[in-house]
Amino acid sequence: MLLIRCPYCEEERPELEFRNAGEAHIARSANMAGESDDDFEKFFFIRSNPKGIIYERWRHMHGCARFFNAVRDTVTDKFVMTYKAGEPKPSKLPGAGK
């Protein structure tokens, strides 16, 4: 069972308290009704599914109930970092040399 750090509770808690909520940083258009078919397809259906670093949303379902973002390595399952919803995608990851 993974330990996940909730950026709101500022604590590492067991995975059981959390729910994954899909890929992060996929913004909903401010002009949703005006989106083209292609743009809607990208927004709703297309996901990156990387081998390696993924940016994803989690919810501290059985804790503070907040949604937040996390950086996880899909190979090792390890969480690199977590941050609050609305914060920008980190440009530099801890432990990454560049």
Instruction: By CB under 5 A, name the one of 35, 63, 83, 85 that touches Zn ion.
Output: 63
Decide if residue 81 touches other proteins (CB under 8 A).
Answer: no
Element (H, E) at 84: strand 79-84
Decide if residue 57 touches other proteins (CB under 8 A).
Answer: yes
Instruction: By CB under 8 A, name the one of 20, 35, 54, 73 that touches other proteins.
Output: 35
Element (H, E) at 69: strand 67-73
Instruction: By CB under 8 A, name the one of 10, 33, 38, 95 that touches other proteins.
Output: 33
Beta strands in 27-66 (DSSP E): 53-59
**CB 88 to other proteins: min, Å:** 14
Decide if residue 77 touches other proteins (CB under 8 A).
Answer: yes
Q: Which residue do the tokens 């909730």 mark?
A: 6
The answer to whether the CB of 57 falls within 8 A of the CB of 68 is: yes
